[in-house]
Amino acid sequence: MDKHERYMQRCLDLAVLGIGTVAPNPMVGAVIVYDDTIIGEGYTSPYGGPHAEVNAVQSAITTYGIEKARRLLTNSTIYVSLEPCAHFGKTPPCADMLIAYGFPKVVIGCLDPFSKVNGLGVEKLESAGITVVKGILEKECQFINRRFFTQINNNRPYVVLKWAETEDGYFAPADTAQRWITNAASKQLVHKWRSEEDAILVGRNTALIDNPSLTNRYWKGKSPKRILLDRDLDVPSDYHLLDQSTETIVFNTIKSEWNLNLKYIEIENFDLYLPQSVLYQLYLMDVQSILIEGGAKTLQMFINAGLWDEARIFVSEETWGAGLVSPKIDGILDGKLNVSNDQLLIYHPIL
């Protein structure tokens, strides 16, 4: 790994510290290097706050004082995992700030696909006489922002499928009884995942059988928006999903209504292209990613529509011999991980 890659990897390590807090913005890390020494670094603040470049400059100022920091910055290189923004949004353009501080060189991991930025940040920097190096660990930089890139390029949220199955391939008991498949460590990991995504979705049957809360009470951070597919509004009002504790969106065929944290969205052709309709509505609501937890019919519906980006499947050591068969997925096995005595399988679609 050469010098540029080493510092860009540090940017990536910083960027992921913003997971679950920066959306719909991308996760970005920035590192300022003077004479082969890091003098400032930062990552994007929670949505609405300063971007990575601003935080990196501020860390240099905090360490060295404003006057010395300004002198150092005019002889420093700043590494940024994503192209600096060139437009006014919640904050001023980062490209303008880098120009104002007199950075002679900017090294970028990948370009920003957002139309108000794409290439324009680089253009601003180069027009100001700044040397710009692009494409350092480009694939890695794109991968950490796969949620952001999917939202921008595909006009839908990034879709993560998650389920647990027994060693012999069963998803749930044949009757409506509740029966836990995985261990406590896997359960805690799922709650961590919930804190990292914008939304979590289940269907009517799962809501009625399990009465889930769909919060991440076993992990720190915010709980995701809860999404319920309930065609005829069969889920009783006293169930956890409708308790107003977290923003909840109910897709149905009966009504469109907004009551505090509870939003009902009517879909006329509920049984026709439902995954596409739901994802597009969520895209319009700035939902960048969604974790789909079930049930089997709901998961299979998204699989059959080809609307998924990642599948996380827990396989336990239990064997049942009978029950509801797990969803079937045709994808590329990208990784295996032991979570105590469960095995976690990670799949991505075949492109």
The verdict on whether residue 319 carries a ligand-binding annotation is: no
The verdict on whether residue 85 carries a ligand-binding annotation is: yes
Residues 159 and 310: beta-carbon distance below 8 Å: yes
Q: For residue 310, what is the DSSP state?
A: E
Residues 124 and 96: beta-carbon distance below 8 Å: yes
Distance (Å, rounded) from C-alpha 153 to C-alpha 283? 11
Distance (Å, rounded) from C-alpha 65 to C-alpha 30? 19
The verdict on whether residue 194 carries a ligand-binding annotation is: yes
The verdict on whether residue 51 carries a ligand-binding annotation is: yes
Which residues are CB-contacts of 326 (< 8 A; sequence separation ≥ 6)?
163, 165, 169, 170, 171, 296, 313
The yes-or-no answer on residue 123 being catalytic is: no
Distance (Å, rounded) from C-alpha 39 to C-alpha 119? 27
Question: Burial letters for 36-64: b for 16+ Cβ neighbours within 10 Å, e otherwise?
Answer: eebbbbbbbbeeeebbbbbbbbebbbeeb
User: What is the amino acid identity at position 57?
Assistant: V
The verdict on whether residue 180 carries a ligand-binding annotation is: yes
Distance (Å, rounded) from C-alpha 73 to C-alpha 102? 7
Q: What is the DSSP code string of 113-179?
A: -STTTTTHHHHHHHHTT-EEE--TTHHHHHHHTHHHHHHHHHSS-EEEEEEEE-TTSEEE-SSS---
Residues 252 and 232: beta-carbon distance below 8 Å: yes
The verdict on whether residue 87 carries a ligand-binding annotation is: no
Strands 262-266 and 257-259: antiparallel
Residues 44 and 27: beta-carbon distance below 8 Å: yes
Q: How many CA atoms lie within 13 A of 256 on its CB side?
A: 5
The verdict on whether residue 164 carries a ligand-binding annotation is: yes
Catalytic residue among 53, 83, 196, 310: 53
The verdict on whether residue 74 carries a ligand-binding annotation is: no
Name residue 164's beta-bridge partners: 314
Residues placed in the known binding site for NADP(+)? 164, 180, 210
Residues placed in the known binding site? 51, 85, 94, 164, 180, 194, 206, 210, 214, 217, 293
Residues placed in the known binding site for substrate? 194, 206, 214, 217, 293
Active-site positions read: 53
Residues placed in the known binding site for Zn(2+)? 51, 85, 94
